[in-house]
């Protein structure tokens, strides 16, 4: 920086600041400021031209007044004039004023840009740095348009001084963050990357910040930086503290540069070059070894710098997740920090181990520290550290330690901070469900959870336990007994009353044989809680009472008396009043058979995914739940519910992941279905697939059609989901036209770059189906969702399906996915009503071999009339009643609407229950 001359002290500014500080009141300050503003205004408007020193002094005063919170509406032109001065201090004040006060929409921007261009072309390094600092401080789009092409040239020029290169790199970074579409590196890419080899460490430090940001957006263009970054990191890690004296911080060589290099490498997958990868592994091992060495200084700055590098190295090891030795060593190193006296280190260690717990290589190593983590949960003073300890327990939980971890988390809940109780409750509920070794333990755990932290048990939690109890016959009696005993406590949480009312209303008959839990005892126990509950809970209890009348006729008089009292039938709440009146009337006039039909047991819930897991993901934010949790959560929720469809999801996931069956499969009654042989997509085979609960095994090719058959009879749902991406579909069809909405959801916290989709019609399909797609956004932010619209036109009949190809970059790695779009010929059906005579007359006319397709097949599940009807209607045809002489048969009719023709279609489904072949024959005229 140029020397400051003696006259640059600006005595007038010092006096003004002193006067402001000496003001006794706000009014005195405003009076002094107004006086000074009037003086400055008169000086600027005077006839006598001001010299540079005076302009600088008055502009400084205006800047000071602005910083005090007062508006400044003049003096901007004088500040711009200072930019043309050849004196450093005057030019500096001009740039400072512009950076702080000038709006990007100001009329002076053109004059300012001209002055900046002059300074950038002056080759005076001091003036160039001032100009670059001003561009970075303002950072407007106008600045980016004017200088985005000039700054890269300055950055890579051979004759540019190091200090200017540093400023240019950081200035370019600022412009790229504000206007990435205007900062195009193009021809400068390779030369910017090679700044990593610059001799000046300051230039490398500035350049790597720029390269890291560019790599996150365009990883392919900057992938050559990996080898250079590894080389530079190797030189720093292997150097002694005396080799880089100017950049050694408390005996740690270049700690900030090392951290930035390690962070840059996290933008890319492990290096493919064996030599580069070996060198990088050696660097990481050296960093881990240095962490074990005794400290060279007792100063906290030394340990901070050393640990900063260590944690970035561990983050890189976790990111690669490919070196078992390094992962275990990282886990052991973090384990040492769990008992460190520094709270921040304990917090960071717990946070990093949460991520390590999701790796198959280090999960067992993380589990060895379970006692230390449990102790941290109990004894840590800082609530944020306790929360990380709870997160780590949740992440390291598996079948071997689930009971211990759930018990410890329940114990901690009794004294846990209010800020984390709700999240703790969700985690305990998820772990209890996911790793339930038997249902009695699960029920005990959830009821204990309600007892301990009832206020924080959300509806999703107690809904979930009811769903599981209803879906499993073998646990219903135990649940009724346990909840009956829990309700006997003098103080009982309202959520416990809700669960008790629901379960006893459905399954109280299973424990009614014991005199201690006779029907009247159950009713009196529930009704003793009635007056303490809120309106929704009272409404639920009234429903339980009417269920009691169906289960236990001997309680009818007692319950009717309760329903008849004025507090019920004249209740001020309309919902309670209506229930009381209707239930009283229903119990009075309905016959036993009608009552049994109306009040029969709830059917099993057809839920696909645990609502508790969904709530936790929403609470924690996108990407917070690990991949393992998501996959395991889905599989386990399917197993616990015991539903056929959920079993299908679990089997499909197991097939796609090539994983072994869950150890709890026998306990939960899930059996994998026999594989369905692949066959050409004929009309008959399509019908078989519709009535099979388990789809065909995934093909070995690149096309993923796991979710394809699920959409034959429906138009909305989730087509595909893995740990990164979820694809949802919503579609509608009318005659030969259709519109499909595709929703692409980023399930991670990392941005998807270069996101693109292509819809193709293979082979003859391009002449049979016309699919037009609208482009999608190339960037999908973490946790965000984008939509794409497809317009579909059926030209003629078809049997293949269009393919959707999705490409994007995640963490530098290219992701490529091809799916079958669920566009089938039945989507273009128009239902047609038809009389019995017309149906069979047309059926007989369609007797040619090419007009009929017939298939005999065995259903995988027992026949359900309503399910079969729903699936036939889902095909798009009209279900005709009273047409077939055999009432067990199902008859449908419809017209396929194409652009070229309309094709009538008739269908008969003939179940044969005696032969144990539920669907033995189906006729479907060929298209």
Mean pLDDT in residue range 239-248: 73
Evaluate if residue 809 carries a pLDDT over 50: yes
3-state secondary structure at position 781: coil
pLDDT tier at 611, thresholds 50, 70, 90 = low
Instruction: Give Cα separations from 884 to 839, 863, 911, 918 (angstroms).
Output: 9, 19, 13, 17
747: CB partners within 8 A, 6+ apart: 622, 623, 630, 721, 723, 724, 725, 726, 783
- Give the up-direction half-sphere exposure of residue 232: CA atoms within 13 A in the CB hemisphere: 29
Long-range contacts of 306-314 (CB under 8 A, 24+ apart): 306/252, 306/255, 307/345, 307/348, 308/255, 308/259, 309/252, 309/255, 309/258, 309/259, 309/262, 311/348, 311/352, 312/258, 312/259, 312/262, 312/263, 313/262, 313/284, 313/287, 313/288, 314/352
pLDDT score for 614: 64
**902-912 vs 917-924, strand pairing mode:** antiparallel
The C-alpha atoms of residue 156 and residue 149 are separated, in whole angstroms, by: 12
3-state secondary structure at position 914: coil
Q: Say if CB 267 and CB 218 are below 8 A apart.
A: no
Q: Annotated binding site, which residues?
A: 11-12, 43, 53, 57-61
Evaluate if residue 411 carries a pLDDT over 70: yes
Mean pLDDT in residue range 297-309: 90
Evaluate if residue 651 carries a pLDDT over 70: no
How many percent of the chain have pLDDT more than 90? 27
Q: pLDDT averaged over the chain?
A: 81
579, containing H or E segment: helix 574-589
> Helices in 200-266 by DSSP H: which ranges?
201-217, 225-238, 255-265
Count of CB atoms within 10 A of residue 549's CB?
Answer: 23
pLDDT tier at 45, thresholds 50, 70, 90 = confident
**Side-by-side strand order, sheet with 813-820:** 703-704, 813-820, 803-810, 753-760
Q: Which residues pair with 919 in a beta bridge?
A: 857
Least confidently predicted of 366-380, 419-433, 850-864: 850-864
Q: Which residues pair with 804 in a beta bridge?
A: 759, 819
What phi-psi label fits residue 69: left (phi over 0), alpha (psi between -120 and 50 degrees) or beta? Answer: left
The C-alpha atoms of residue 282 and residue 272 are separated, in whole angstroms, by: 16
Tokens of 203: 């230039």
Query: In the CATH scheme, what is the code of domain 715-823?
Result: 2.60.40.1230
pLDDT tier at 610, thresholds 50, 70, 90 = low
The C-alpha atoms of residue 283 and residue 25 are separated, in whole angstroms, by: 62
Digit-coded pLDDT (tens) for 324-357: 899 999 999 999 998 888 899 999 999 999 988 8
Q: Is 901 exposed, middle or buried (0-12, 13-18, 19+ CB in 10 A)?
A: exposed
Largest CA distance in the chain: 114
Evaluate if residue 684 carries a pLDDT over 60: no
Q: Give the domain 827-909 fold.
A: TATA-Binding Protein (3.30.310)
880, containing H or E segment: strand 878-880
What phi-psi label fits residue 250: left (phi over 0), alpha (psi between -120 and 50 degrees) or beta? Answer: left
């Amino acid at each position: 920086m140029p020397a400051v001359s003696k006259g640059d002290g600006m005595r007038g500014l010092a006096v003004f600041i002193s006067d402001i500080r000496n003001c006794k009141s706000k009014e005195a300050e405003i009076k002094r400021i107004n006086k000074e503003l009037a003086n400055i205004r008169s000086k600027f408007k005077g006839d006598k031209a001001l010299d540079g020193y005076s302009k600088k002094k008055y502009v400084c005063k205006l800047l000071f007044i602005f910083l005090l919170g007062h508006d400044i509406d003049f003096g901007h032109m004088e500040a711009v004039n200072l930019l043309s001065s050849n004196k450093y201090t005057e030019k500096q004040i001009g740039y400072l004023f512009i950076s702080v006060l000038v709006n990007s929409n100001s009329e002076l921007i053109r004059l300012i840009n001209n002055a900046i261009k002059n300074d950038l072309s002056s080759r005076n390094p001091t003036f160039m740095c001032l100009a670059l600092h001003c561009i970075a401080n303002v950072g407007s789009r106008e600045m980016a348009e004017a200088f985005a092409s000039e700054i890269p040239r300055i950055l890579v020029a051979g004759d540019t001084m190091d200090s200017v290169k540093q400023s240019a790199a950081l200035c370019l970074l600022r412009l790229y963050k504000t206007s990435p579409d205007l900062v195009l590196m193009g021809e400068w890419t390779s030369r910017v990357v090679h700044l990593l080899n610059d001799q000046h460490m300051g230039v490398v430090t500035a350049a790597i910040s720029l390269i890291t940001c560019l790599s996150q957006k365009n990883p392919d263009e900057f992938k050559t930086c990996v080898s250079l970054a590894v080389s530079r990191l190797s030189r720093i890690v292997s150097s002694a503290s005396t080799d880089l004296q100017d950049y050694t911080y408390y005996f740690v060589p270049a700690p900030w540069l090392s951290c930035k290099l390690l962070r840059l490498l996290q933008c890319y997958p492990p290096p493919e070059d064996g030599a580069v990868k070996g060198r990088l592994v050696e660097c990481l091992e050296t960093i881990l070894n240095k962490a074990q060495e005794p400290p060279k200084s007792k100063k906290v700055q030394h340990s901070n710098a050393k640990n900063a590098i260590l944690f970035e190295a561990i983050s890189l090891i976790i990111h690669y997740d490919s070196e078992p030795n390094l992962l275990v060593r990282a886990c052991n190193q973090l384990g040492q920090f769990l008992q460190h006296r520094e709270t921040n280190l304990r917090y960071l260690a717990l946070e990093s181990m949460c991520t390590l717990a999701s790796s198959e290589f280090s999960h067992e190593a993380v589990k060895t520290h379970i006692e230390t983590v449990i102790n941290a949960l109990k004894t840590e003073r800082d609530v944020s550290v306790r929360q990380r300890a709870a997160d780590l327990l949740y992440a390291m939980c598996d079948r071997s330690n689930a009971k211990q971890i759930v018990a410890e988390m329940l114990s901690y809940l009794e004294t846990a901070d209010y800020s984390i109780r709700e999240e703790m409750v969700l985690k305990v509920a998820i772990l209890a469900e996911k790793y339930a070794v038997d249902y009695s333990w699960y029920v005990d755990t959830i009821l204990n959870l309600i007892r301990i932290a009832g206020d924080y048990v959300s509806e999703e939690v107690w809904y979930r336990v009811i769903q599981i109890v209803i879906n499993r016959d073998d646990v219903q009696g135990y649940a009724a007994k346990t909840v009956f005993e829990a309700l006997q406590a003098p103080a009982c949480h309202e959520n416990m009353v809700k669960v008790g009312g629901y379960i006893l209303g459905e399954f109280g008959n299973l424990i009614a044989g014991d005199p201690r839990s006779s029907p009247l005892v159950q009713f009196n126990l529930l009704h003793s809680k009635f007056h303490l509950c809120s309106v929704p809970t009272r409404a639920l209890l009234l429903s339980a009472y009417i269920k009691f009348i169906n289960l236990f006729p001997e309680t009818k008089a007692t319950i009717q008396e309760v329903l008849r009292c004025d507090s019920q039938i004249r209740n001020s709440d309309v919902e309670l009043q209506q229930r009381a009146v209707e239930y009283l009337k229903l119990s009075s006039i309905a016959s036993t058979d009608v009552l049994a039909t109306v009040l029969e047991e709830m059917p099993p819930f057809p839920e696909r995914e645990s609502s508790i897991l969904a709530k936790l993901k929403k609470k924690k934010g996108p990407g917070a739940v690990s991949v393992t949790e998501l996959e395991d959560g889905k599989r386990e929720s399917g197993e616990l519910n015991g539903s056929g469809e959920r079993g299908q999801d679990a089997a499909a996931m197991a097939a796609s992941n090539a994983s072994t069956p869950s150890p709890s499969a026998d306990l939960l009654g899930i059996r994998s279905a026999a594989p369905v042989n692949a066959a050409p997509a004929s009309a008959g085979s399509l019908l078989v697939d519709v009535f099979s609960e388990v789809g065909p095994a995934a093909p070995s090719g690149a096309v993923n059609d796991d979710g394809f058959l699920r959409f034959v009879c429906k138009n909305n749902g989730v087509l595909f989901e893995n740990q990164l991406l979820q694809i949802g579909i919503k579609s509608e069809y009318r005659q030969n036209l259709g519109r499909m909405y595709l929703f692409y959801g980023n399930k991670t916290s990392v941005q998807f770059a270069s996101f693109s989709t292509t819809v193709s019609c293979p082979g003859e399909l391009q002449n049979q189906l016309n699919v037009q797609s609208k482009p999608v956004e190339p960037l999908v932010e973490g946790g965000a969702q984008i939509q794409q619209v497809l317009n579909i036109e059926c030209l003629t009949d078809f049997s293949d399906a269009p393919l959707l190809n999705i490409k994007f970059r995640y963490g530098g790695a290219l992701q490529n996915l091809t799916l079958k779009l669920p566009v089938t010929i039945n989507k273009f059906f128009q239902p047609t009503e038809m009389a019995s005579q017309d149906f069979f007359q047309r059926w007989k006319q369609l007797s040619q071999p090419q007009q009929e397709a017939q298939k005999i097949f065995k259903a995988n599940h027992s026949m359900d009339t309503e399910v079969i009807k729903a699936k036939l209607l889902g095909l798009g045809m009209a279900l005709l009643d009273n047409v077939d002489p055999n009432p067990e048969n199902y008859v449908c009719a419809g017209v396929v609407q194409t652009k070229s023709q309309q094709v009538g279609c008739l269908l008969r489904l003939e179940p044969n229950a005696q032969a144990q072949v539920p669907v033995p024959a189906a006729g479907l005229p060929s298209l």
